[in-house]
Structure 1
Amino acid sequence: MFDYMIVGAGLAGGVLAERLASQAGKKVLLVEKRNHIGGNTYDHYNEDGILVHKYGPHIFHTNSREVFEYLGQFTQWRPYEHRVLASVDGMLVPIPINLNTINALYGLNLSSEEVDSFFESRAEKKDKITTSEDVVVNKVGRELYNKFFKGYTKKQWNLDPSELDASVTARIPTRNNRDNRYFTDTYQAIPLQGYTKLFEQLLNHPNIKVMLNTDYKEVIDIIPYKKMIYTGPVDYYFDYCYGKLPYRSLDFKFETIDTETLLPTGTVNYPNEQLYTRVTEYKYLTGQKHAKTSVVYEYPKDSGDPYYPVPKPENAALYKKYQQLASGSKDVYFAGRLATYKYYNMDQVVAQALSLYRKILSSPEIEYHGNGIKEPVN
Structure 2
Amino acid sequence: MKHYDYILVGSGLYAGVFAWYAKRRGKTCLVLERRDHIGGNVYCEDVEGIHVHKYGAHIFHTSNKKVWEFVNSLAEFNRYTNSPVANYKGEMYNMPFNMNTFSKMWGVCTPAQAKARIDEQRSGVTGEPKNLEEQAISLVGRDIYEKLVKGYTEKQWGRDCRELPAFIIKRLPVRYTYDNNYFNDLYQGIPIGGYNVIIDKLFAGCDIETGVDYLENKARYDAMGDMVVYTGTIDAYFGYCFGKLEYRSLRFESEVLDEENHQGVAVVNYTDRETPYTRIIEHKHFEFGTQPRTVITREYPVSWEEGMEPYYPVNDETNQALYQRYAELAANEENVIFGGRLGEYKYYDMDKVIESAMKKAEAVFG
TM-score when normalising by structure 2: 0.93
Q: Does 1:333 align with 2:337?
A: yes
Is the contact between residue 132 and residue 165 of structure 2 (CA under 8 Å) also seen in structure 1?
yes
* Match runs of 1:8-47 below 5 Å: 8-22=10-24, 24-46=25-47
* Match runs of 1:232-311 below 5 Å: 232-272=232-272, 273-303=274-304, 304-311=308-315
TM-superposed deviation, 1:315: 1.5
TM-superposed deviation, 1:139: 1.1
- Which moves more between the two structures, 10-19 or 170-179? 170-179
1:191 counterpart SS class: coil
User: Compared with structure 1, are the counterparts of its residues 309 and 259 closer, same or farther at alpha carbon in structure 2 (3 Å cutoff)?
Assistant: same
User: Compared with structure 1, are the counterparts of its residues 190 and 3 closer, same or farther at alpha carbon in structure 2 (3 Å cutoff)?
Assistant: same
1:100 counterpart SS class: helix
User: Compared with structure 1, are the counterparts of its residues 184 and 360 closer, same or farther at alpha carbon in structure 2 (3 Å cutoff)?
Assistant: same
Match for residue 322 of structure 1 among 299, 306, 326: 326
User: Compared with structure 1, are the counterparts of its residues 76 and 250 closer, same or farther at alpha carbon in structure 2 (3 Å cutoff)?
Assistant: same
TM-superposed deviation, 1:228: 1.1
Distance, in Å, in 2 between the alignment partners of 1:238 and 1:172 is 36
2:190 counterpart SS class: strand
Is the contact between residue 9 and residue 37 of structure 1 (CA under 8 Å) also seen in structure 2?
yes
Q: Does 1:342 align with 2:343?
A: no
- Structure 1 residue ranges (4+ consecutive) displaced by more than 4 angstroms after TM superposition: none
Which residue number corresponds to residue 220 of structure 2?
222
Is the contact between residue 164 and residue 312 of structure 1 (CA under 8 Å) also seen in structure 2?
no
Distance, in Å, in 1 between the alignment partners of 2:298 and 2:49 is 19
2:78 counterpart SS class: strand
Which residue number corresponds to residue 211 of structure 1?
209
1:57 counterpart SS class: coil
- Which moves more between the two structures, 78-87 or 121-130? 121-130
User: Compared with structure 1, are the counterparts of its residues 274 and 100 closer, same or farther at alpha carbon in structure 2 (3 Å cutoff)?
Assistant: same
Is the contact between residue 51 and residue 288 of structure 1 (CA under 8 Å) also seen in structure 2?
no
Which residue number corresponds to residue 67 of structure 1?
67
TM-superposed deviation, 1:194: 0.7
TM-superposed deviation, 1:184: 2.5
TM-superposed deviation, 1:165: 4.0
After superposition, the C-alpha distances for 1:98-145 in whole angstroms (9 at most, x for unaligned) are 111111122x23312322222212114453356433431111223321
Is the contact between residue 330 and residue 338 of structure 2 (CA under 8 Å) also seen in structure 1?
yes
Which residue number corresponds to residue 121 of structure 2?
122
Which residue number corresponds to residue 137 of structure 1?
137
1:52 counterpart SS class: strand
Is the contact between residue 269 and residue 277 of structure 1 (CA under 8 Å) also seen in structure 2?
yes
Distance, in Å, in 2 between the alignment partners of 1:175 and 1:231 is 37
TM-superposed deviation, 1:284: 0.6
- Which moves more between the two structures, 280-289 or 127-136? 127-136
After superposition, the C-alpha distances for 1:146-196 in whole angstroms (9 at most, x for unaligned) are 211111111011122333344533364111111111222111111101111
Distance, in Å, in 2 between the alignment partners of 1:162 and 1:36 is 40
User: Compared with structure 1, are the counterparts of its residues 327 and 165 closer, same or farther at alpha carbon in structure 2 (3 Å cutoff)?
Assistant: farther
Identity %: 37
Distance, in Å, in 2 between the alignment partners of 1:131 and 1:2 is 50
TM-superposed deviation, 1:309: 1.1
CA RMSD of aligned residues (A): 1.7
Which residue number corresponds to residue 366 of structure 1?
none
User: Structure 1: which 5+ residue stretches go unaligned?
Assistant: 363-378
Distance, in Å, in 1 between the alignment partners of 2:140 and 2:348 is 26
TM-superposed deviation, 1:243: 1.5
After superposition, the C-alpha distances for 1:30-67 in whole angstroms (9 at most, x for unaligned) are 11111111100000112x33321111111111111111
Is the contact between residue 265 and residue 285 of structure 2 (CA under 8 Å) also seen in structure 1?
yes
2:115 counterpart SS class: helix
One-letter code aligned to 1:297 = R
2:263 counterpart SS class: coil
Distance, in Å, in 2 between the alignment partners of 1:233 and 1:288 is 36
TM-superposed deviation, 1:255: 1.4
Which residue number corresponds to residue 76 of structure 1?
76
Count of matched residue pairs: 357
